[in-house]
Amino acid sequence: MENSFFIFTGQDEHIDIERFHICTWEFNADSSLLEFGAEISQKSIKSDKLSISIFIPWLSAACKVEDLYERLSIAENSRFIFNDSLAGTDSLDGGRNRLGVIHKFSQRNKLCILPVKFDTSEDKILTILINLKSYNDLEEKPNVYFRFLVKPNFPFLSTRKKGIGKSTIIYDAKVNEKRNIPDDQLSYFSNKVFCKINTCFFFNIIPNKYDIIFLDDSSLKNVRTLEYDSFNKYLQDKRVKKDELMVVFNKKKDAESFSFFSIFAKERIGPGQFALAILINLICGILLFIPAYRKTVIPEARLSELLIELPTEVYIALIIATLTLLYFSWPLITNVLKISGKLKRSKK
């Protein structure tokens, strides 16, 4: 899966992002989602309106985009996401918490969480629109933070390679790497300004049945089991299951662009491998049986005549082989039908 992201503004705006968060989710149910979060330096804010665009190479009208402000406005969720206890929360609209909140953390500076709106009128471009009027009325202005998620209309954000005995997940994510700008987008980006990112965080949340094959030691911070209770309350997604997911956390800072590469794999020794062995044995057995049967029973018979005279046991073996082949093909068939159904619904 192509995951080269570009965060940029128009020529008239220069935005510094203190922290940029990317969080990929891949569930056991062959589905995924992606979170983006950005902490904007208050020194970058010059007006009552701000727009930041993100190029997402696979973004389409069928993808669902959702602002996460309401969840982060809850102190308990922000305490968990930002990994710091809260000393208090101030509202920008007298307690209704519709226009924004300011969280006062114990170990880090205050942070203003703001709601955002989205513009998806440009192909593969998601533009985040932020109303800063209430924020600019503050005497003391902290950094601004927004966060949202994108639900793809396909199963995986990673590159998947399935072998007979092993399945592999490959993540290759890049942020603001100009050499990866698509050829058909060079003209578009020629008059854009890439946001300066001081620190980039990359989280992979994947099923814990995978083993880590390769990670960049220079960026890896920790690997842990997903905190089910907290994430379940924050994400509100039924695909989050207890003791099924793990979090791999990478972090890089002070660079013009960022890249993260990792490989995970799991052994596939189970019913599928036994079924494949049965299928191979059946086919090989039938292929070896037919020449011997022709020679000893009906030497002059054609293959079509011979098939009519075959013992019942051979037909039973062929039926088992067909069912076994269907067993392997069924996940692919259902996946194709599922994607086809989603595309049809998106066109309506």
pLDDT greater than 70 at residue 338: no
Distance CA 14, CA 8 (A): 9
pLDDT for residue 275: 65
Amino acid letter at 286? Answer: I
The pair phi, psi for residue 127, each rounded to 5°, is -105, 125
pLDDT for residue 267: 76
Relative orientation angle of helices 271-296 and 312-347, to the nearest 10 degrees: 140
Return mean pLDDT, the chain.
Answer: 87
Q: Would you tell me how many other CB atoms lie within 10 Å of the CB of residue 56?
A: 22
Summarised one tens digit per residue, pLDDT across range 103-141 is 999 989 999 999 999 999 999 999 999 999 999 999 999
Distance CA 121, CA 117 (A): 13
CATH 2.30.30 for domain 3-267, yes or no, is no
pLDDT for residue 273: 59
Q: For the chain, give every domain's residue range.
A: 3-267, 271-347
pLDDT greater than 90 at residue 198: yes
User: pLDDT: is 278 or 193 the higher one?
Assistant: 193
Instruction: Give the pLDDT band (50/70/90) at residue 304.
Output: low
Summarised one tens digit per residue, pLDDT across range 26-85 is 998 889 999 999 999 999 998 999 999 999 999 999 999 999 999 999 999 999 899 999
Summarised one tens digit per residue, pLDDT across range 148-159 is 999 999 999 999
The pair phi, psi for residue 115, each rounded to 5°, is -75, 155
Instruction: Report the Cα–Cα distance between both ends of the chain, in Å, rounded.
Output: 26
